[in-house]
Each structure stands twice: as C-alpha cells, then as structure tokens.
A and B are shown apart, each in its own frame.
Chain A
Amino acid sequence: MEQVDLGVIGAGPAGMAAATIAATAGLSVVVLDEQPAMGGQIYRAVASGGAARTDILGKDYLEGAGLAQDLQASTARHLTEAVVWDIAPQEGGVAITYSHKGIPARIEAKRLLLATGALERPVPLPGWTLPGVMTAGAGQILLKASGMVAPRAVLAGSGPLLYLLAVQMARAGSPPLALIETQSLRDQLAAAPRLAGGIRGWRILIKGLGLLAELRRHGIRRITGARDLEVIGTGRAEGLRFSAQGRAQEIACDTVLLHQGVVPNTQASRALGLAHDWHAGQRAFVPRTDGWGESSHPGIFIAGDGAGIAGAKAAAVAGQLAGLQIACQLGALDRAARDAKAQPARKTLDAERSIRPFLEAAYPVAAQILCPADKTLVCRCEEVTAGDVRHWAGLGCKGPNQTKAFGRVGMGPCQGRYCGLTVTEILSHSHNLPHSQIGAYRIRMPLKPVTLGELSTVNAPEDAEEGHPK
C-alpha cells in the first residue's frame, strides 16, 4: 500500500497551496480530488480550457493558474477523478480510501488535510426542486468548465457571488434577465458599522462596487428586498414569483439560479467525529481548529472554506499554514523556519477574514429560507416538507438524527448535504433551543455512495458498510 507523509483531500486553493508548501519542505504528498482537473470551485478547470475564458471570468481567476502551476512544478502527486469515500484514523495517521473510475484504492498518510471547500447553502423555497432551478454555483460551473451560459436565467437570493455570476454571464454575451435579491437596504445599513473592523478588506469591497457598476452598464435589472420567492412551473421552471416594493411580481424565465451564500462542507469532518461549533455569523457549523488548522483530532488538519467561509485568498494562505505546521510536526522544518514563512500568510488571513462580519450582515440569509413555509420541501431526496419536520418536533423529536427515524429525512443519496442546516434551523426554532444544542446529522462513511464491489475489493472496515442506502 502506498504510504505518504501528507494526504490532501481537495485540489482547490487550500489544497493546492498546502501540498505545494509541504512538498517543497521535503514531504511526500498526495492530493486527491474527484474533479478531472485541479482548481477547486473558484478556479475550476483553471489549468485546462478554463484559463482561456479569463476575459469572462475576471483577473482573479488567473491567480488560480499560479497556484496550479506551483503544484504541478512540485513533487506532490495529484490524483484526478479520485473520489474519497472513506477515511479511517489508525496508528500513526489515517488510511484514505478512494475510487478512480470505479476502481478503489487505499493510501496511508501520516497527516491528513481536509480541503474540501464549501457547498451552496440549501435554499428551500417553493419550486426549488423543479428542473431548471440550480444553484448560482452550478451556473458558474457550467460557465467555467463548459463555457455554457444558462439560458433566460433569473438570479435570485443574496450575496456577492450573484453579482460576480451576473457580470460573468453578461461578459459571455447572455446577461441574466434580472437579479432578484432578498437582502434589504436596512440590512446593508445595519452592516455598515462592522466595516470599521474590516478596513483591511476594502479591496474586496471595491471589487464589489466595480461589479455593481458593471451590472448597471450592462443594464441588468436589480430588485432588492424581495420576499416570498417562489419558482413556478409544471414539470420545469417557467418563472419566478416574489413580492417587492409592496406588490406581487412575476418574471418568466427558463432557469432560476439560487444563492444564499456558501457554507462549509463538513461531510468528512463530521464523519470523522471531529468537534464542530455553531458559527452565528455564518449560520453554519464550523469544525474547531487551532491557528494552524489542526482539528480536535491530532494529525487531522482542515483548511479553506471547509474550516469556515473566508474566500479563496484566505483558503490559499490557510493551506500554507497547515502545510508548514505539518512539515514542522514531521521534522522537515524547524519552528523558526515555520514561523518566518507563516508570518505573511497570517497577515493575509487576518485581512481576508476581517471583511466577513460585514458581508454576513449585509447579505443575511432570507427569513423564508431560515424558516420555510410548511408546504416547502426541505429534504429533496426523500421529499420531506418543513411542515413534516415541525410536526415531528411537536411529537417530541428533539434532534436532527431523530428526524431520520420519523421520516427518512437526510437519508437519501445526498446524505443531508442540502437539508441538514435547514432541519437544524427548524428544530432550533420549534424548540426555542440554540443551534449548538440541537446539533447536526451524524454522518457516516462512505462519504460518497459506493458499490458492493468497491467495498469488497478494498475490504473496507465494517462500519463503512452501514453507511447509506446502496
């Protein structure tokens, strides 16, 4: 079996930067990612066709190309289309099991870095399961990896990623029909005082203002303070209904791209049983890490958006910090060398993080998303509604894990990725208890569905087999 010093899961900015710095220090490093190319979400396909689309995607996209070149030039090995589905702590490290085109294999690593990034926050609103409704991130992935612009699209929700996507679509020649935003002017005003702490994040703000100006130049319609969003259509999305400026409105469209910010992808950190805390600002659970990214389990590190949303620049420097500490722990760097290299990374990390409280307040999660109407589906896989969850809460169901017994919620193939936070929010509201007390779904390996054949080939540990439906 292959043995390495460091196994990195995820080849986004965090994983690329960590692997490069650790390999440069002399460690043997393997990076596994299920995508066919490195780059992660923001820099998706950056080293292949995507870079040719820089005019559309913007200058920031090129920063990813630098990270990718550094990784390619290092001794770290990058395994593409490697879907990691089991991670087992063992004496002296972890065993990582993955499948490449359906063929499983296992690697042993002395240290593990989870750099699995973010997921779109679930957006449970009426009609969100209709074909033609996708996340804003999905709209962007179509653009980056396939050069395809979703036709006749309305962008709906809240957050700077919506502006970026609208501008990218416009540059590609197919501007969205409209931007329907759920945050209000009041939210933005209330957020302003938090800017004091975010002065160093001005660069991000100015970029945001530039995007808004470009939106205006393209003549893209923006409506803010929208409420009661609903996708209408029979069998597929045909329009978006909402109320704003005191009246009900409707826009006919073929595609609705939804966004309410992104949240840490905690699937692997949960399955490993690591400690998590509720982050009130991000309205999500965040794994507990120290200043180097080491989790509650010694030797297991987390960097990037998976450790708390802070964006791509922060992800890259957090990856560096983790890589440096791992190199130090394994004797490849002494403390003085580690600290000298860490200093600029820490400075950037602090600056990038300082803007977050402002963004969180200026683009809050819409009330209708935190507290969906009874008839709204919350679990897409098992088709469970918010009303069902409230009903079970009334019957005494206290926590997310118990809801599974009541109605299979969270037990479909997505393993709660797109309902977990909603169920926690609803139960917290119903029982009037803090989110930290309500908790989250318990996640079990395998992280991705695998066939019985894959399981038996690698002779996976017993507990892997009781994962989720196969």
Chain B
Amino acid sequence: MLVPVTFEGAEMMLPEGANLAAALLAAGVGAFRTTPVSGAARGPYCMMGACFECLIEISGATRQACMMQVQAGLVIAKPKGRANGAG
C-alpha cells in the first residue's frame, strides 16, 4: 500500500514497510543530504548501515534511511550541520 510521506516539504507516496532508502531512490531522490564539511551532495552508498551516507532527519533526530522502513506520515528533512547519525 502506498502511504504519504514528505521529503524536504514535498509530499510523495511510498510503499508502506519498504526500505526507506530504497523507496526514496526509487522515487527519484538521489541526494539525501549535503556534507557538513564542503556541502557536497551525498546519497546511499552501502545500503547496510555502515557508511552513514544516507543520513536523513526525522522529527529532529538523524537516522540512517537504509536501516528504516517506510511509515505513513514520516516528515523527512535533509540534515543540517554536523552529521551525527544518532539513531
């Protein structure tokens, strides 16, 4: 079932329960964040929770998108400032 989430303010419909990073990639999101050092765009690299390139912000907490599943109503933002990956 497709459920609504927002990414950087834009609403999109993603399959419920799917891997969040995979679902965002499939929806055409390439850059998940920008780096705190140079501001370069980054997206998922390992898909197994090891590289921390897929960091996103959900309700103020930084999470690894590749280790999460899609749920209705997720409000996702690109992390700002130093990446910390708390999750």
Contacts and interface: CB of A to CB of B under 8 A. Distances in A.
Interface in A415-470: 417-418, 448-451, 469-470
A135 B51 CA distance: 11
A236 B45 contact: no
Interface residues of B, number: 36
Contact of B47 (A138, A382, A414, A450): A138
Given A135-B46, A383-B38, A142 B22 contact: yes
Contact of B87 (A142, A381, A418, A449): A449
A148 interface: yes
B48 interface: yes
Interface string A37-74: 00001000000000000000000000000000000000
Contacts of A133: 45
A53 B37 CA distance: 41
Name, among A265, A418, A450, A470, the residue most crowded by chain B CB atoms within 10 Å (CB to CB).
A418
Given A145-B22, A235-B31, A470-B86, A132 B43 contact: yes
B26 A148 contact: yes
Given A142-B25, A235-B31, A414-B52, A134 B40 contact: no
Given A412-B83, A469-B82, A417 B51 contact: yes
A426 B10 CA distance: 44
B51 A414 contact: yes
Interface in B26-43: 26, 30-32, 35, 37-38, 40-43
Contacts, number: 101
Given A129-B42, A470-B86, A380 B51 contact: yes
A451 B87 CA distance: 7
Contact of A137 (B18, B25, B38, B47): B47
A146 B82 CA distance: 30
Nearest to B38: A383
A197 interface: no
B26 A236 contact: no
B48 A41 contact: yes
Contacts of B42: 129, 131, 380
A449 B30 contact: no
Contacts of A146: 18-19, 22-23, 26
A141 interface: yes
A134 B42 CA distance: 11
A192 B38 CA distance: 46
Interface of A: 34, 36, 41, 83, 102, 119-120, 129-135, 137-138, 141-142, 145-146, 148, 235-236, 265, 380-383, 412-414, 417-418, 448-451, 469-470
6 contacts: A34-B49, A83-B67, A102-B87, A131-B30, A131-B42, A448-B49
